[in-house]
Structure 1
């Protein structure tokens, strides 16, 4: 297996190095071909590396900076003023070719803005979109985008997201002509705001995209479509609400399994199946969203990710680097957009 190098913004997110560095060490232990560039305060990072094996330590580089993009900082301000921030320096490792991908749990808007400026967009795409793979009732993945990188979108942007999502699903899941739908307040053609209505019209007259119409929130996890498109405002609330419900269900299920002797006995008999269900419901097991449409690979982790969740985001960044996702998307995307515009 070819060696991979990831640049981690270890200062980003709610917890910073106490979570990101142990997750990084866990990834290095599991993957002997992995090399990590840890970007952040060396005085905070170094003590967390004291007990790691020498073989692992040799696969770590540290880029020191004490500058951090605050979670509440405006993206444009971060771009102009935080030129030595851990987030920006991590992105610059991808730009220079030193790293194959970048991962951050920091400010989403700042990450999107910096990535767009530093790494540039693929031809025909104006904005990157955060996309993630969600579980479904029938076992296949469902791709949802945008998850918060673009709070408001016009119809052309939603259309581009639909094209990117379709191409991504086709390439990664090896399925031709995946079903694409727009998330809306109803499935009727008259429903929705102007942006959604106009995006629907664009998609209806694009034979290269297998457009299935509108979808409501209660069908997101049924697997009735493959790709679901919305603006970042709707997508972020949808994802966070789903995660909150999943955590509630996991809590209630675990609580119920400890009540009563008979229930505890039955729980032991079906423990493997219960654990599988709990894992599917736990959002930490699918943490990480890709910024789709860039010329480089950038993965966004939840800001409140714990060590296990941040490790999942590292694994996603590795997978996308191994696939060389931007190169995979570029040719297919270009041919579709060329057909559409001709």
Structure 2
């Protein structure tokens, strides 16, 4: 197994990414190798300072980087030697089994769609994230930013992708899928959600339980929450603020602690032909470690093969 990591992506790269890779290496098995993509000359002193042998990693050296503010499509095409571009080239060629980065989110999405491409039958890939449930565990929310505008059939497919992810990554036997809406009744919402509700209700591929409202997001009876990427991104950014607010207010709570992005590391792009994980721009070493472990889990579970079979 070869797990690819862009060590130049993120606000605190390469220090945070390299230290995260070192922590992840401590729990990886001998046949699970990390491939570090980026400036080897900057990485080596960090590795040696940590008292670790560089031989535990494979390296793909490059000094070129796609910065956070760059236009994704232009950067991918004009910077073929950038760490993100090289990562997707290696993924496409099968030299690595997964690729993750805390760098430019748009470049990660464009790179995935241009290199490994969308799985046949999937209309649009989606970015998924974890939503803490009140008692324990997480629900899956998608899409959280890849598709600001959606069609009803795309939302149905998000339900299928999220259900597969919940089943094979979180081992939920029969994931309960809900549509995020402004009311629980079937007729509530806009043209998109009304039409999507009808499609999801009549689908035999998901366990659809109907609409939920924003106040139901953190309840324990929902495993997969479906919405368009515009709505999902607003919800995600609001939820991310909860953890930082608890720290500022000086109180500690198990539920709000689970809003800490570090615990789950990154957000997978579901619906493409290889495991691709997008990390938070402010990723710490702990977040990078967990992003790597999520990559490992997606490879081990053969998640992409499960999606291909479902959409065949």
For normalisation by structure 1, the TM-score amounts to 0.84
Aligned to 2:228: 231
Match of 2:285 in 1: 307
C-alpha offsets along residues 286-310 of structure 1, whole Å, 9 cap, x if unaligned?
2211111111011111111111122
For 1:283-322, what aligned pairs fall within 5 Å after superposition?
Answer: 283-322=261-300
Residue in 2 that maps onto 1:51 = 49
Q: SS where residue 106 of structure 2 aligns? A: helix
Q: Distance in 2 between matches of 1:31 and 1:204?
A: 42
**Match of 1:21?**
18
Match of 1:245 in 2: 242
Alpha-carbon deviation of 1:172? 3.4
| Alpha carbons 1:185, 1:216 under 8 Å: kept | yes
Equivalent pair of 2:169/2:298 in contact (CA under 8 Å): no
- Structure 2 gaps of 5+ residues are none
Q: Which residue of 1 aligns with 2:34?
A: 36
Deviation at 1:22, TM superposition (A): 0.9
- Structure 2 match to 1:121: 118
Partner SS for 1:300: strand
Alignment match of 2:68 (pick from 68, 71, 74): 71
Equivalent residues of 1:108, 1:148 under 8 A apart: no
Look at both structures and tell me which one has the larger radius of gyration over its CA atoms: 1
**What is the aligned length?**
311
Q: C-alpha displacement at 1:188, in angstroms?
A: 3.0
Q: CA RMSD in A?
A: 2.1
Deviates more, 1:238-247 or 1:170-179: 170-179
2:95 is the alignment partner of 1:98: yes
Q: Which of 307, 325, 329 is equivalent to 2:303? A: 325
**Match of 2:95, SS?**
coil
For structure 1, which runs of at least 5 residues remain unmatched after alignment? 255-273, 335-342
Give TM-score scaled by structure 2 length. Answer: 0.91
Counterpart CA distance in 2 for 1:106 and 1:168 is 23
Q: Distance in 2 between matches of 1:42 and 1:310?
A: 18
Greater CA deviation, 41-50 or 275-284? Answer: 275-284
Query: Do 1:291 and 1:299's aligned partners in 2 also have CA atoms closer than 8 Å?
Result: yes
- What's the CA shift for 1:276? 5.1
In the TM superposition, what is the alpha-carbon distance from 1:196 to its structure 2 partner? 2.0
Measured after TM superposition, the shift of residue 253 of structure 1 is 4.2
SS at match of 1:50: helix
- Does the residue aligned with 1:48 lie in a helix, a strand or coil? helix
Q: What is residue 269 of structure 1 aligned with on the other side? A: none
Given that residues 162 and 229 in structure 1 are in contact (C-alpha distance below 8 angstroms), is that contact kept between their aligned partners in structure 2? yes
Q: Tell me the alpha carbon deviations over residues 19-61 of structure 1, each in whole angstroms, 9 at most, x when there is no partner.
A: 101111111133242322111123322222223556x421212
Alignment correspondent of 2:168: 171
Q: Is the 8 A contact 1:203 1:209 kept in 2?
A: yes
